[in-house]
Structure 1
Amino acid sequence: MRHIAYRLSMSLLVITSLLVSQGVYAKQPQPARKLHDESGGYRWILDIDAAFIRVDKNLFGNDRAVYGEHSDYWYESALTFGGSALWDFNLAGNIYADLAGLYTGSARYNAGGGNINNKYINRLDFYQAAIGWQSGDLFDIGRNALRISVGQQKFTLGTGFLIWNGGTNGGSRGDTWIAPNQTWRLTGLVDLAIGDDYQINVFYLSPNDSPDTRTQLGGINLEFTLDENATFGVTYIDIFDSNDKTRENTRTYAFRYSSKPLGENSLAISSEYAFQNRPNTQGDQNAWYIEPIWHFGGPANVRLSYRFASFEEGWDPLYYGGSDWGTWYQGEYLGEFILTNENLESHQARLVFNPVSDWTINVIYYYFLVHNLNRGQFANAQSRMTERSLAQEVDLIAEYHVTEQLSLTFEAVFALPEEGGKQWSGGDELTTQGLASISYSF
């Protein structure tokens, strides 16, 4: 596949050259991976996370029969440490570098059964090792409008429907819920903003997965600001090499649209449609979601939303994730530990409010259905499935922001199987889960 990688690298250079040569004004991109400021110098990186999780009647009371072990409680912890630096060369732009390590520790079996052979985990890994160049005031096209970087670092797209988590969590790495392994093993990124209305990202990614599948993917992402209240995005992703032959040559085409048709602090709409061609497996699949969100405002800043999402049988979930509850791990129990985004339909209703300034309360309801019975992730059901209705889940989440750096999270989760879920899991009891976590960022 060297010729494919070569063509991709040449495409990056050509696209970058063409865009720079236009000489148009461009604003500074705002990627989520930025860890340094514009003033130059050095900055320490220190993030500490710990969580204690208790589950009762795991997998609707049938986890020992399915996994061979029983999960009732476990502990997760993560420490990210390192530093970042930026050197400003005035008209020659600036260079930045990020270097960080990651310690993870966990004890006992989690609810998903993925660490049956790794009951106690303590490990140290590289988290980030990247270097990049920003254009500064070079070319007179706007401050840091062009950004080029390589190495092990984060890269995300949109809400995380397709691309967010570059690393694998759980199994021999532990920390399924905290999920600290988010960086890609190797990246080559070009970001460019054109005016106030266009953002272009060209990317090469190799995931930090476990076990290592030596997967490589590349693509391009375009974001358009239609007006001050609407944006439109187009993404193309090509998995051009992988030891997992079911994934190799998978091509994904996605279209995103978000708007606030009535202006700020009222109705907002978020949506995405993705088409996938998988020549080595199922052929063509679709995935999509739509989510209207109502902002009622007031002293409690009340928000109410409904989301429907659909993932066809054989859909490759790629590397989804997200920065918000339920996006795109759908449910703090079922989405985090039991289900994946394939052969699945979901309804989500969500209420968010701030009773006082330091607290955020989420009440989230899910109703899950199987897209095609006895197929995909439900092919190995405990008994033949005859009903599409899978399960319901309610998440009660309270976040206390003690300071800007320190936050506490408390959860109470209830998951109840429907008839299809009973047939699939072999269990018929109410699963409950409680969680307490602490997070500190220096």
Structure 2
Amino acid sequence: MAFLALAAAPQAARAQAAGVSDPLNGSAIETLRVVVVNPGPDAAVAERVADSVRRSLALFPGARFSKETFDLQLARARRTAEVGAIDYGVKLGSAGGVDVEVRVTLGESAATREGRGRLAGDPNAGSLLLDRNGTYIVGKFDTLGLYYANNNSWYGQPGPLLAGNPLVQGQPSGAGYRDWAEAYVHYGVYGITPLSKQVYLYGGLSGITAASSGDELFSSKTRTHTGLEDAYVGLVGGSTDASGNRLVYNLSAGRQKFTLANAFLIANTAANGHDRAALQANARWAADNLVLAQVAYNRLRLEAFYLDPDELPILDSGTRLAGINAEFRPSPDWMVGVSYVQARDGKTAYYGPTGTLAGVRKGLRVYDARFSYAPAESRQGPFGGAEIALQENADFSMKARAGWAELGYRWPAATWSPSVSYRYSYFSGDDPATSAFERWDPLFSGGNGEQWVQGANHFKVVQDSNVIANRIQARLKPDPRVEIVPQLWTFRAAEANNIGGNPALSFLNSRDYGREANVTAKWFVSRKIYVHGHLAYTQPGDAVRRALPDKPDGWLSVLMFLRYAY
């Protein structure tokens, strides 16, 4: 049927890698501490300086960490009187985010006034180009090398599972052991300069060169690609009144990365693979254009955005999203949030149970509400959260639903600081017995395997639509720089009608998609070097076995990469 081939396009666009190449960037900040390393005899002076640095950083727990942005915000903090030197460290948090510690040394900063960096004549300044009177310019150079292997990818039957997929080039990986290699280099320059005492202008410009070679999931073609990545400008500022109330604002526009809340709705704002290479390395994140306005007042955070994602040209849906988001922390442990997203444009097609066109993405409206509870990093105890979302469309009858609930417990003082959690998630399918279209549109959800890439292998076959997933996950830290994350998954279809998913699985004779066990290891060797690996095995369920012409095999995948940031 013609509609089955057409339906493969959005499926192909989402069957890509998790965002694992830089696990710190984009992670939620769990704690932000400012420590004065030489407080001296006057504790009041040290506390005043520390508080000034906090205000200059303009960050709150729950915000997303970005190395480039944080380096620029640190430049603002260097202008604080009596700050002689300032540095920071980032480590894995207890709940999957990051803990940031800013270390301040009191003293005079003559070097900053006179200027330091390569442009100031210092050949040993590393990536620092200039730091003078509040102007801070830094270079970026990251490189990554990745090895990926599969045994029986696509359950050993790439033919039916990739039929009609426009990403296929040459002979993709399939039955037996196949492997490939990827690499990329990300290079650029970022800077910030004061316009006034409280307002700063900042921006970034970067490019990525990527390459792939071997029998990849969709292609056996060797490819290289160079393209623009970041290209944005922004204004950031804020103030603190006599009562200590903090107001922070940030306005930006251009090519940049964007994650809405916890990645449930929006995370993968750029596509990889095909002619761009680096499918699994997931090198690119910057949208074609993001206009973003953010305001934070004490524990309340508001943002409004307009998003044009950077999709693959062969799969470009023309989607344009606009939305608002609000988050409030009634206490340091609790967060509540709501979001509204509207598709101002988009030609992604929605097909009804008979294969007829039900409508397109343009006109989609998404309503979302969520909460989370996470105790302070040093406290033993439970953690959890939940989220519900509804989708409708202004142009036709649509009522899709999604949600999740998670409950866990952690022991931060125990050996290896273990935590364990259970998460249930639901993404509706289209019920043929109702008149409304009910299949959930995953938009640009994703992030990484601990967020909304549900299953290292399974996600490549079934994305976050018409699926019910159960996940048991643990976190173990044998060393402060090492984290091990094992997961157990089961997957079921919400409806037997699966039109809009993988064409080979359009009509299901069982709801059982399958099961997966995987384990991820992360090693932060230093601020510059990161090593990552995963091992995953996926067993096909009755739904897959009955849909494929031959008996499917279990799918084993292995990944290893090393990332170096200069």
What is the TM-score of this pair, normalised by structure 1? 0.86
Q: What secondary structure is seen at the aligned counterpart in 2 of 1:182?
A: coil
Q: What secondary structure is seen at the aligned counterpart in 2 of 1:59?
A: helix
Map residues 243-392 of structure 1 onto 2, 5 A cutoff: 243-244=347-348, 246-260=360-374, 264-279=379-394, 283-297=398-412, 298-313=414-429, 314-322=439-447, 324-335=448-459, 337-378=460-501, 380-381=503-504, 385-392=508-515
1:135 is aligned to 237
User: Would you say 1:88 and 2:201 are equivalent positions?
Assistant: no
Q: Distance in 2 between matches of 1:103 and 1:144?
A: 39
Q: Displacement of 1:370 after TM fit?
A: 1.0
One-letter amino acid of the counterpart of residue 274, structure 2: G
Map residues 200-239 of structure 1 onto 2, 5 A cutoff: 200-211=302-313, 212-239=316-343
Stretches of structure 1 lacking an aligned partner (at least 5 in a row): 1-24
Q: Distance in 1 between matches of 2:560 and 2:191?
A: 34
Measured at CA, do residues 152 and 434 of structure 1 come closer, stay the same or move farther in structure 2, by a change above 3 Å?
Answer: same
Map residues 9-20 of structure 1 onto 2, 5 A cutoff: none
Q: Percent identity?
A: 21
Q: Distance in 1 between matches of 2:547 and 2:155?
A: 11
1:37 is aligned to 73
Q: Displacement of 1:421 after TM fit?
A: 1.9
Measured at CA, do residues 428 and 362 of structure 1 come closer, stay the same or move farther in structure 2, by a change above 3 Å?
Answer: same
Contact 1:106 1:120 in 2 (8 A): yes
Of 64-73 and 233-242, more deviation after overlay is shown by 64-73
Question: Deviation string for 1:319-353 (max 9, x for gaps)?
Answer: 1122x533111111122x32211111111111110
1:9 is aligned to none
Q: Distance in 2 between matches of 1:273 and 1:170?
A: 31
Q: Displacement of 1:108 after TM fit?
A: 2.9
User: Would you say 1:413 and 2:443 are equivalent positions?
Assistant: no
Map residues 63-74 of structure 1 onto 2, 5 A cutoff: 63-67=158-162, 69-71=171-173, 72-74=178-180
Measured at CA, do residues 395 and 425 of structure 1 come closer, stay the same or move farther in structure 2, by a change above 3 Å?
Answer: farther
Q: Distance in 2 between matches of 1:415 and 1:190?
A: 42
Stretches of structure 2 lacking an aligned partner (at least 5 in a row): 1-54, 76-134, 164-170, 350-359, 430-438
What is the TM-score of this pair, normalised by structure 2? 0.68
One-letter amino acid of the counterpart of residue 392, structure 2: N
Q: Displacement of 1:242 after TM fit?
A: 2.5
Contact 2:249 2:296 in 1 (8 A): yes
Q: What secondary structure is seen at the aligned counterpart in 1 of 2:58?
A: coil
Q: Displacement of 1:170 after TM fit?
A: 2.2
One-letter amino acid of the counterpart of residue 428, structure 2: E
Contact 2:481 2:523 in 1 (8 A): yes
Question: Deviation string for 1:194-247 (max 9, x for gaps)?
Answer: 12x200001111111113333211111000112221110000001112244611
2:556 is aligned to 432
Q: What secondary structure is seen at the aligned counterpart in 2 of 1:132?
A: strand
State the Cα RMSD in Å. Answer: 2.6
Q: What secondary structure is seen at the aligned counterpart in 1 of 2:504?
A: coil
One-letter amino acid of the counterpart of residue 186, structure 1: N
Contact 2:57 2:73 in 1 (8 A): no
One-letter amino acid of the counterpart of residue 43, structure 1: V
1:8 is aligned to none
Measured at CA, do residues 296 and 32 of structure 1 come closer, stay the same or move farther in structure 2, by a change above 3 Å?
Answer: closer
One-letter amino acid of the counterpart of residue 187, structure 2: F
Measured at CA, do residues 404 and 27 of structure 1 come closer, stay the same or move farther in structure 2, by a change above 3 Å?
Answer: closer
Map residues 48-67 of structure 1 onto 2, 5 A cutoff: 48-67=143-162
Instruction: Mark the structure with the bigger radius of gyration.
Output: 2
Q: Distance in 1 between matches of 2:462 and 2:253?
A: 33
Measured at CA, do residues 201 and 382 of structure 1 come closer, stay the same or move farther in structure 2, by a change above 3 Å?
Answer: closer
Question: Deviation string for 1:136-158 (max 9, x for gaps)?
Answer: 44999977711111111111122
One-letter amino acid of the counterpart of residue 376, structure 1: I
Q: Displacement of 1:92 after TM fit?
A: 5.5
Contact 1:27 1:144 in 2 (8 A): no
Measured at CA, do residues 110 and 260 of structure 1 come closer, stay the same or move farther in structure 2, by a change above 3 Å?
Answer: same
Measured at CA, do residues 377 and 203 of structure 1 come closer, stay the same or move farther in structure 2, by a change above 3 Å?
Answer: same
Measured at CA, do residues 184 and 406 of structure 1 come closer, stay the same or move farther in structure 2, by a change above 3 Å?
Answer: same
Q: Distance in 1 between matches of 2:455 and 2:505?
A: 22
Q: Distance in 2 between matches of 1:285 and 1:98?
A: 38
2:524 is aligned to 401
One-letter amino acid of the counterpart of residue 232, structure 2: A
Measured at CA, do residues 203 and 416 of structure 1 come closer, stay the same or move farther in structure 2, by a change above 3 Å?
Answer: same
Number of residues of Structure 1 aligned to a counterpart in Structure 2:
411
1:192 is aligned to 295
Q: Distance in 1 between matches of 2:518 and 2:321?
A: 35
Contact 1:60 1:425 in 2 (8 A): no
One-letter amino acid of the counterpart of residue 216, structure 2: N
Q: What secondary structure is seen at the aligned counterpart in 2 of 1:381?
A: helix
Map residues 135-214 of structure 1 onto 2, 5 A cutoff: 135-137=237-239, 145-195=248-298, 197-211=299-313, 212-214=316-318
Measured at CA, do residues 170 and 139 of structure 1 come closer, stay the same or move farther in structure 2, by a change above 3 Å?
Answer: farther
Q: Distance in 2 between matches of 1:379 and 1:357?
A: 41
